[in-house]
Structure 1
Amino acid sequence: MQTIIWDHPVRLGVAGERSINGPQDALQYLNEMPQGGWFFERARNRCREALERGEALGLSRKAFIGAAIESSFPMLDDDIQA
Structure 2
Amino acid sequence: MFPAPFRLFFVAVPLLVAAGALAMAAFPRRMTSWQTRSPDGSTQRIEPSDTRILVMRVMGVVVAALALLMAFGTFSFIP
Query: What range is the shorter-chain TM-score in?
Result: 0.3 to 0.5
- Looking at secondary structure, tell me which structure has more helix per residue: 2
Q: Compare CA radii of gyration and give the structure with the larger one.
A: 2
- The structure, 1 or 2, with the larger RCO (C-alpha pairs under 8 Å, 6+ apart) is 2
